[in-house]
Every structure is written in structure tokens, then in C-alpha cells.
Amino acid sequence: MDKSILKEIIAEQAEAISKKDRGIGRESLNKVKEYLDLPQGIVISGIRRVGKSTLLTQIMDNFYEGSTYYLNFEDERLLNFEVSDFNHLYELFVELFGQQRVFFFDEIQNVNGWEMFVRRMIDRGFKFFLTGSNASLLSKELGTKLTGRHLSIELYPFSFKEFLRFKGYGITEKSLLLTEERARIKRFFNEYLLEGGMPEHVRYKDADILKKVYDDIIYRDIVARYDIKGVKSLRELALYFLSNPGTLFSYNKLKGFLGLGSVNTAKNYVEYLENSFIIFTINSFAYSLKQQVMAPKKVYCLDTGLARAISFKFSRNRGRFLENLVFIELKRRGEEVYYYKTGKSFEVDFLIKKGPGIEHLIQVSQSLSAPEVRERELRALVSGLEELNLPKGLILTEDEEEEIEVGNKRVSIRPVYKWLLE
């Protein structure tokens, strides 16, 4: 590639990145801080338009104060950039900015063979921060190219705390104690449940932004990449999952539901959707791995706003979307999540595992005001606590709060919005 053009691009992008809106500080910066002194490269993965490039600028500002190299390979003038051009790139970086030790590469997957340069430089002690996501290499797969020389950070849509900061609302110790402030937080929470946390959508409130993300995932990340002929079946599956978060499914039932030729096709479709970050699946907890694999799975969507923009069942499924919100927050906190089926076939929404042990059981219900619902949710949770020998459990609701004893088990009932702010 012509070095004079490359030099021009580097300078232009450096100027542009210095003026880029940094947005609100993301909670993922805490995880980045833990990895700064480790030798591995850092791969920032996540769904399209979730803010990976913005997070790169925040890492630069918070930890490196301009002592970095940056290039976004999405620039159309870099279409002819080849792996052999990396040495020229490094030479120009040094010429323009002096000797630095940290590289930031955005959309790195656009260069075939990029991993050879990155691996070589990591072995020489340089630090790399990488993002990418397109049909040729999904962001979840970036790290596979680095063969043990990377750590991965998954970026999720805004948490409720981030959502409030974006809205300009600052939480204080007294916020949840004052009636008027609590009412404001609950109003924000209702908006967050409906609109989700995808940054551009939160800013512009345009559902077409989410529909474009969805279409890009279906057609560019999945259909084009895997040369899928049964587009209708794939779209029906995605719509079904987004409309029914928290639903149990088996591959065999999906095969029949979608009229697919084989169970493997159903498995592949689920895997493609999951690799694109649009859905997550979890297993039923069991000490036997075989039992886990044989049991139905549960599915959740990355973002309630995305699900609402695509599906038609949000108002009728509000409780399920509350459950979805809780699941994504658990993932955001890095928890190992399962659901649990008791010996009497009562279902507990979430089992949180820590290392070899079980830490917590969580049940989610929109409301416990109806006696039959209260009895059902408590019965399932307490049954799970007894079987797993846990002293206490948690039920998250839309707006109820209580501490109760059931036998020798303690159950905390809390509003989801308060739990999200912990």
C-alpha cells in the first residue's frame, strides 16, 4: 500500500479520534483495568453498534493519555491494506507519534492474516486492544486467531446505572429513600425496560436503528456468511426467541416447529444467533454433565429494546422481559448462570454457580399480589433451597419489597430496579 496515503489516513484518524464523543464511562473499564498489566492482547467483543469503538477511546483517555497508536480498518482507503503493510504502518506510527507500546485496532478483521503481526508484537512486549464484527469474523471469534495470547471482554448494552448516567441522573445514597426521587427512578426504569440499552437507540429513540442492527445480523452475519437457503426458517426462529424470552426449548422441538430437515440444522441456527450476540442460551443445572446436555435449554435476548422492536408480544410478556433484564445483568456481572428444576419439577429461574459451589437462587415475577402466584413462586424457590441446602433466596419483582421466613429458609423480595442499582 502507498505509504503516503497510509500516513495521511493515520493523521486524519488521529485527529478524528481526538474529537470523537466519548459518551458516558462504561462499567467495562473496571475489567479493562484488571487486565492492563497482563501481557495478553485485549479483545473487545459484542453485538453490532453496542459501543465497542467508543469504549476504545475511553480506554485511551483513562489509562494511556494519548501514548498510543490507533487505526480503524473500516476506512475504505484501507481496502488494499495487506498483512505485509503492517511493518510500514508501525514505521509511520513511530515517525508521527514516537515510540509507543500500545496499539488500538478497530475492525481489525478486515485485514487477512492480521493475527501474525499482532502475535509477533505481543511476543515482543507490545499491548493490543482489538475490536471487530462483520460477516467474515464475528467479534466473538477474534480471539481464536491469537492462540492463547488474548483476554476477552464482552461489552453489553447500557446497564441501568449507565442508562441513568446517560440521562443525566446522578444516583446518591438518599435517592431511593426520598419518595419523589424513587418515583423518578421507577419512571426511568420503566423506560429502560421498554427501550433497552443500545446506545444509539437510547440517544435517538428510533426503532429503525434496532431493526437495522437486527437485519444486519440476520442477513450479513448469518445468511451471507453461512450461505443459508432457509432464510424464512431462520427469521422465524429469531422472531420466536425474541418474542418469548425465558422460554424452554429443545432442538428436536425446534426442528418440528420450523419444519427443518434435521436436528443439526436447528442446532446450527441457534449457534449462529448466539455467536452474533443476539441471544443467549443457558442449561438446566445438574451435577451430571449428561443431564445438563439432555435437558431443555432456556433462551434470552441481549436487549429488551431490541426484542420489543422486532417482536409483537412485549406488553403481554412484561414479566418475561423483566426476567430477561435480570438475566442480562447477571451476564454483565460475569456470573455463571443456569436455571434449576427441582425434584418435584418446580422451576427456579436462575441458579448462580461460583467455582465448584452454588451461591444463589433467584426467582423473577412481575408481581406477587395474586395469592396463587405468590404461593407458586415461593414453593419453587424454597423447594430449590431445600434440595441444594442453601439458607436464603431472592425473588425479584417489579415493585414489591419484603423479608420473609419460610420454615428455616429466608426469602428476600426486592424490586428489580433496586437490585440493578446495587
What percent of the chain has a predicted confidence (pLDDT) above 90? 84
pLDDT digits (tens, 9 = 90+) for 192-227: 999 999 999 999 999 999 999 999 999 988 998 899
- Per-residue pLDDT averaged across 250-272, rounded? 95
What value does the mean pLDDT take over residues 354-378? 96
> Which segments of 20-130 does DSSP mark as H helices, in order?
28-35, 52-59, 86-97, 114-123
Nearest CA-CA partner of 123 in 140, 148, 97: 148
List of long-range contacts for 406-410, beta carbons under 8 Å, 24+ apart: 406/378, 406/382, 407/382, 409/382, 409/385
SS3 357: strand
Per the document, the length of the chain is 422
Phi-psi domain of 378 (left: phi exceeds 0; alpha: psi -120 through 50; beta: other)? alpha
- Residue-wise pLDDT for 93-114, tens only, equals 999 999 999 999 998 888 989 9
Give the model confidence (pLDDT) of 25-82 as tens digits.
Answer: 999 999 999 999 999 999 998 898 999 999 999 999 999 987 999 999 999 999 999 9
pLDDT at position 92: 98
Cross-strand partners of 353? 336, 358
The pLDDT tens digits of the residues spanning 286-329 come to 988 888 889 999 999 999 999 999 987 666 789 999 999 999 99
Sign of CA dihedral 22, 26, 30, 35: negative
Give the SS3 label for residue 124: coil
Averaged pLDDT score across all residues of the chain? 94
Alpha-carbon dihedral angle through residues 173, 176, 182, 184, given to the nearest 10 degrees: 30
pLDDT average, residue stretch 129-152: 77
Is residue 135's pLDDT more than 60? no
Q: State the Cα torsion 396-402-407-410 to the nearest 10°.
A: 60
Q: What is the pLDDT of residue 168?
A: 95
| Integer Cα distance of 27 and 166 in angstroms | 13
* Nearest Cα residue to 406 out of 384, 387, 379: 379
Residue 142 pLDDT: 75
pTM: 0.94
pLDDT value, residue 110: 86
Instruction: Tell me how far the alpha carbon of residue 308 is from its chain's centroid.
Output: 17
Cα separation, 331 vs 327, whole angstroms: 6
The pLDDT value given to residue 177: 87
Is residue 268's pLDDT more than 70? yes
Query: What pLDDT, on the 0 to 100 scale, is given for residue 230?
Result: 87
Average pLDDT over residues 155-178: 93
> What's the average model confidence in pLDDT over 368-384?
97
> For residue 145, is pLDDT > 90?
no
Which residues of 56-189 form beta strands (DSSP E)?
A: 69-72, 102-106, 127-131, 150-154
Buried b (16+ CB within 10 A) or exposed e, 25-57: ebbbeeebeebeeeebbbbbbbbbbbbbbbbbb
Q: Where do the domains of the chain lie, and which CATH numbers do they carry?
A: 3-154 (3.40.50.300), 194-420 (no CATH)
Averaged over 325-338, what is the pLDDT?
A: 97
> C-alpha angle 25/30/35, rounded to 5°?
130
**Inter-CA distances, 340 with 121, 194, 240, 305, Å:** 46, 27, 23, 27
What pLDDT is stored for residue 222 in this prediction? 92
Q: What is the pLDDT of residues 217-258, one digit of tens each?
A: 999 889 988 999 989 999 999 999 999 999 999 999 999 999
More confident: 360 or 136: 360
Bridging pattern class, strands 409-415 and 402-406? antiparallel
Q: Which residues contact 15 (CB under 8 A, 6 or more apart)?
A: none
